[in-house]
Amino acid sequence: MKNTLIVFGIWALFFLYHFLFIHSFTDGCAEYQLNKSAYKKRVKGQNFFEWLLFLRLKSEIPKSVLVYYYVALAYQISTLAIMYIIYHFTNMRILCYASLCKFQIDTLVKGIIFLMFRGKGGKFDYSRRIDKKRGIK
């Protein structure tokens, strides 16, 4: 029982860390496109689903980044469900191997994003890959 609580705690931390990473990366893309005042006006009064799905900022975020965000979000939720199923129908060793594979995939994806958008001081430099929109269309 103690081992399963530890494994579920580790899963929850992985999920939270990866979710916060992809959400902050996607939010940073929207913030890069807008000035601070416009960004604050758009996000003011958002409900949870608007915040989670970037409903108010879809036009500012590049489509490729939105696709990455939605796929990563679906991947995270589905792997949690799969891990839960594995826990109930198999042994702990398979569960640990599956957890290790998930951790390695998440680390690889985050590493690729860091390499593509790395900037000084460990912050993302969105100007390396994303063109900033200028003016009103």
Let me know if 22 is exposed, middle or buried by CB neighbors in 10 A (0-12, 13-18, 19+): buried
- pLDDT computed for residue 14 by the predictor: 84
Average pLDDT, the chain: 85
CA–CA distance from 18 to each of 12, 31, 40, 47 (Å)?
10, 20, 25, 22
pLDDT digits (tens, 9 = 90+) for 29-61: 999 888 889 899 999 999 999 999 999 999 889
pLDDT computed for residue 41 by the predictor: 92
pLDDT at site 97: 84
| C-alpha closest to that of 28 among 137, 130, 135 | 130
Cα distance between residue 17 and residue 12, in whole Å? 8
Give the pLDDT confidence of 73-105 residue by residue, as tens digits: 999 888 888 888 887 888 778 877 888 888 899
